[in-house]
Structure 1
Amino acid sequence: MPNWLRPPPGGFTADDLDRLPDLPPHTELIDGSLVFVSPQPAFHALTVDLLNNGLHRCAPDSMRVRREMTVTLDNRQRPEPDVLVIDAAAAGDIDGTTYRADDVILAVEVVSPDSERRDRERKPQLYAQAGIRHFWRVEKVDKRPAVYVYELDPATHAYALTGIHHDRLVLTLPFDIDIDLTELDKL
């Protein structure tokens, strides 16, 4: 049994994700605990591809799109959004394993059966507390993605729902976005 299965006193830290040998891919740190990802259904993978490609197409030159990279929110929080948009200045370190919350413009979570509570409750709470201005939660509705779009309310430091998009995702914030969600049927 690997030694890292036993948490140190006080829990794991964000830096531990880079130091612990042989961690499973896509391991996250939530509240000082390691979270391992289960195999994802095809819907999850296809939706991540659809949003990743659509955001790449729409993103301005000042931003970059990444998938499945961790974000260090603080010493005990290092979640891994399914898709994220970052400031282009933060994209220069191609050997980096994480981004800072200050560099994240949008975090996207595609809800899976094994992560419903984390994706719907805990992760949005953490992203909002870290000041990430835009968050999308994506759910499967009738075999297609439904995108729940949130914006950070600066007065409450919590997300406010600004829209639910089913067939087409058309937004002007954080930049002009137009993604045909029905394209999932062709992937």
Structure 2
Amino acid sequence: MPQGRAPRRRCLEEAVTADLPDWLTPPRPSGWEADDLDHLPQAPRHTELIDGALISTTAYDPDRTWYAPEDVSLVVEVVSEESADRDRSLKPFKYGQAKTAHFWRVEDEAGAPVVHTYELDSMTSSYVPTGIHRGRLKISVPFPLDIDLDVLVP
């Protein structure tokens, strides 16, 4: 690095995905396409493509090949410039209609991660905010969790 230059600051998405295997990096900025699944020999057996994102689950039963929406209790979206509109409007609506109990949206705020947490109002099938977390994400539902968000981005 040339002397006098500050190290390049990684964006939130780069920091969150930095330790993932190379094969998990989408081949294009718009995300994955159906044909890409044929070229991922390292992908777990239960890998699906949903809205440009690879979703992988570990089945408890080797004969189980899918999960019903009501079996999913939490969805986390990391917002990028390309996905911001979908992540803030369309996806919460779809997850709410699928009755997913909890939804988290991770945003980049001046280079630091901010986690917006929501819980489903079962009467309206829409999400109500339960918190905006900066610095630390400490929650008790859907499970106890305490994460120092500041360590995610150098």
- Give the TM-score range, shorter chain: 0.5 to 0.7
Matched, 1:130 2:98: yes
Aligned residue type for 2:76: V
Paired residues, number: 119
- Which runs of at least 4 in structure 1 moved beyond 3 Å after TM superposition? 78-84, 90-96
Counting only pairs closer than 5 Å after superposition, residues 10-25 of structure 1 correspond to structure 2 as none
Query: Secondary structure of 1:126's match?
Result: helix
Query: 1:114 aligns to what SS in structure 2?
Result: coil
Which fold has the larger relative contact order, with Cα–Cα distance below 8 Å and residues 6 or more apart in sequence? 2
Match of 1:107 in 2: 75
2:152 equivalent to 1:152 = no
For structure 2, the residue ranges without an aligned partner over 5 or more in a row are 1-9, 20-46
Shift of residue 93, structure 1, vs aligned partner: 4.2
Root mean square deviation, CA, Å: 3.2
User: Is 2:84 the partner of 1:116?
Assistant: yes
Matched-pair contact (CA < 8 Å) for 1:70–1:99: no
> For residue 146 of structure 2, what is the amino acid of its counterpart?
D
Letter aligned with residue 81 of structure 2: P
Alignment of 1:88-107 (within 5 A): 90-93=59-62, 96=65, 99-107=67-75
Rate the CA distance shift 1:80–1:93 in 2: closer, same or farther, 3 A. farther
Letter of the structure 2 residue corresponding to residue 156 of structure 1:
T
Structure-to-structure mapping, 1:1-187, within 5 angstroms? 42-48=11-17, 70=48, 78-79=50-51, 90-93=59-62, 96=65, 99-186=67-154
1:150·1:161 contact (CA, 8 Å) conserved in 2? Answer: yes
